[in-house]
Amino acid sequence: MTSTKKIHSPGSNTDRQSVGKRAYHHGDLRSALIEATRQLVEEKGPDSFSVSEACRRAGVSTAAPYKHFKDKTEMLVAAVLEGMGRHQNKVRAALEGIPEGSPERITAIGIEYIAFALNEPGIFRLKFGGFTDRIADPRLEEGGQQSFGILLTEVAKCLGEPGSTEEVRRRGFLLWSFVHGLSFILHEKGLAEKGSEFDLHDLLEDVSERMLS
Amino acid sequence: MTSTKKIHSPGSNTDRQSVGKRAYHHGDLRSALIEATRQLVEEKGPDSFSVSEACRRAGVSTAAPYKHFKDKTEMLVAAVLEGMGRHQNKVRAALEGIPEGSPERITAIGIEYIAFALNEPGIFRLKFGGFTDRIADPRLEEGGQQSFGILLTEVAKCLGEPGSTEEVRRRGFLLWSFVHGLSFILHEKGLAEKGSEFDLHDLLEDVSERMLS
DNA sequence: TCATCAAGTTAGCGTCTCTAACATATGTTA
DNA sequence: TAACATATGTTAGAGACGCTAACTTGATGA
């Protein structure tokens, strides 16, 4: 039997997420599994995700993932990390056009946060909503710290404070709590209706103003 | 073999949660399973809960629950409903001492919301954090509507509005978002530290004031 | 007293996670 | 270039779980 395996264009390794392993038998099974995981988490929900189904989708046996991931949880973590990376890129891109020290930058961060929850509710829930017992990876916390740090920097600039003072941390924490809660409520079908009568930008600007004044 | 089954004091059915079935073989298996579910959800986390383990804890075979619940999800829903009942009682009790129209009533509602998240993180997550795909029971939504209605009533009184005007709904929604986010952040080990330097009452009063002024 | 039916049990199917043992491709090195 | 070491895959199977079918038990009321 000559090789009839599918090849994933072995040279196309532009993904900074991948650790450096590339293109053996499958092409890049690790990436393929992460993508399958991401899709399934969005389609079926985080708690209905199964490794078997990801294998079926990637076209490999159910034992194959364990050459790349310790267990199911580590697959989910990898999918979350990948999503966080994309999210952070979007935030950076969104901030680029807005002048330093402008409160609009804070609104933009909030908008991107909520957009992520709305566009990728599965990954969002996986990161924040109740899988903490199983998913406690230092890289996840690190990413969160980083994001919160960006917010604090912006808050400090807006308040004219010299850095992460207590007041800055307090206001930043309040803003984060609000946006976090809003994200949860809006992305959840049963709850979103209560907020659907309001314009998202209005709400965020309103709250930013209240919190920063 | 004479009866060696444990009896749960058949007369002690003071639980208004139980639907009316009582004391057959087990005593009150339905309630016992709900309690076992509640415990396990708190101990192992919502996503690690298994029907089998609840059965072991209740001392019955793994097929027994299906005489009382349609499936695993319905067991979890029952546990959430039971928790919501207790929560609502606490809110009612907390409001009793506080004069009508006082903003302290709103703070009290928020405190109870957060207390529930901190004391029963498993049930809280089950209700809000990402199991929506599987858990979509009308009774859950109903309970949520009711709670939100109570909040809106208080907001209206504080603002001196005649009822659920758009402004009332808007402020109420903002308050809810904030408290909801705060609850998620505080009850999650990896996130709570960022808020631990602040006093909870202070934060809530601060925000209530900002939102209601 | 006995028929009825709610509430429990046993047995078993299909699925899932994960492991052990084996097979094969790849790149390195003698 | 042949042989080796290693990374990557497969098959087979153990053990847990969700749920169902069929059977058993015991409380209740005619």
What is the per-residue pLDDT across B156-189, written as a single tens digit (0 to 9) for each? 999 999 999 999 999 999 999 999 999 999 988 7
B contacts of A133 (beta carbons < 8 Å): 44-45, 47-48
**What pLDDT is stored for residue B195 in this prediction?**
86
DSSP conformation letters of B10-27: TT----TTS-S---SSSS
**What pLDDT is stored for residue A22 in this prediction?**
34
Architecture of the domain whose range is A14-69: Orthogonal Bundle (1.10)
Contacts of A67 (CB under 8 A, 6+ apart): A29
Q: What angle do CA A89, A132, B188 make, to 5 degrees?
A: 90
Question: Hey, which residues 45-64 in chain A have their CB within 8 Å of chain B?
Answer: 45-48
Question: Hey, which residues 124-183 in chain A have their CB within 8 Å of chain B?
Answer: 125-126, 128-134, 136, 140-141, 144, 148, 166, 169-170, 173-174, 176-183
Q: Is the pTM for the entire model greater than 0.75?
A: yes
What is the per-residue pLDDT across A135-181, written as a single tens digit (0 to 9) for each? 778 888 888 889 999 999 999 999 999 999 999 999 999 999 999 99
Query: Whose CA is closest to A207, among B110, B199, B173, B161?
Result: B173
Measured distance CA(B14)–CA(B29) in Å, rounded: 15
Chain A CA closest to residue B152:
A194
Q: Average pLDDT over chain A, rounded to whole?
A: 86
Q: Average pLDDT over chain B, rounded to whole?
A: 86
Residue A5: how many CB atoms within 10 A of its CB? 9
**What pLDDT is stored for residue A79 in this prediction?**
97
Per-residue buried b or exposed e for A45-54, using 16+ beta carbons within 10 Å of the residue's own CB: bbbebebebb
Residue B25: band (very low, low, confident or very high) from pLDDT cuts 50, 70, 90: low
Looking at the complex, report in whole angstroms how far the Cα of residue B172 sits from the nearest Cα belonging to chain A: 10
- Token match 């800055």: residue? A168
Over residues A97-105, the mean pLDDT reads 92
Query: How large is the angle between the packed helices A200-212 and A103-119, nearest 10 degrees?
Result: 140
Measured distance CA(B72)–CA(B60) in Å, rounded: 15
Measured distance CA(A206)–CA(A201) in Å, rounded: 8
What is the per-residue pLDDT across B31-44, written as a single tens digit (0 to 9) for each? 999 999 999 999 99
Residue A142: how many CB atoms within 10 A of its CB? 12
- Between A25-29, B142-146, B204-208, the lowest mean confidence (pLDDT) is in A25-29
**What pLDDT is stored for residue B58 in this prediction?**
95
Single-letter code of the amino acid located at B35 = E
Measured distance CA(A201)–CA(A108) in Å, rounded: 9
Measured distance CA(A52)–CA(A203) in Å, rounded: 42
**What pLDDT is stored for residue B176 in this prediction?**
96
The percent of residues above 90 in pLDDT, for chain A, comes to 71
**What pLDDT is stored for residue B186 in this prediction?**
93
Looking at the complex, report in whole angstroms how far the Cα of residue B210 sits from the nearest Cα belonging to chain A: 6
Rounded to 10 degrees, what is the CA torsion of A137, A142, A144, A147? -160
Question: What is the distance of C-alpha B103 from the center of its chain?
Answer: 23
The pLDDT of residue B22 is above 70: no
Longest dimension (CA), chain B: 72
Specify burial of residue B97 (Cβ count, 10 A radius: 0-12, 13-18, 19+). exposed
Over residues A113-126, the mean pLDDT reads 96
Measured distance CA(A73)–CA(A71) in Å, rounded: 5
B198 sits within 7 Å of strand D by its CB: no
Looking at the complex, report in whole angstroms how far the Cα of residue A201 sits from the nearest Cα belonging to chain B: 13
Residue A156 near residue A163, CB atoms below 8 Å: yes
Query: Where on strand C do bases come within 7 A of a protein Cβ?
Result: 6-12, 15-21, 25-26
Tokens of A204: 């965020």
Residue A68 near residue A54, CB atoms below 8 Å: no
The percent of residues above 70 in pLDDT, for chain A, comes to 86
DSSP state of A62: T
Chain A CA closest to residue B149:
A194
Query: Distances from the Cα of B168 to the Cαs of A81, B150, B158, B160, B176, in angstroms?
Result: 39, 12, 10, 10, 12
Tokens of A209: 């103003």
Q: Left (φ > 0), alpha (ψ -120 to 50) or beta: where does B16 sit?
A: alpha
The percent of residues above 90 in pLDDT, for chain B, comes to 71
Out of A144, A178, A190, name the one closest to residue B181 (CB).
A178
Contacts of A78 (CB under 8 A, 6+ apart): A30, A34, A37, A69
- Between A44-58, A125-139, B31-45, B60-74, the lowest mean confidence (pLDDT) is in A125-139
Rounded to 10 degrees, what is the CA torsion of B132, B134, B140, B145? 30
Angstrom distance, B34 CA to D24 C1': 26
B contacts of A136 (beta carbons < 8 Å): 189-190
DSSP state of B7: -
A211 vs B: CB within 8 A: yes
**What pLDDT is stored for residue A15 in this prediction?**
31
Q: Which CATH number fits domain A71-212: 1.10.357.10, 3.90.550.10, 1.20.1250.20, 3.40.605.10?
A: 1.10.357.10
| Domain boundaries of chain B, sorted by first residue | 14-69, 71-212
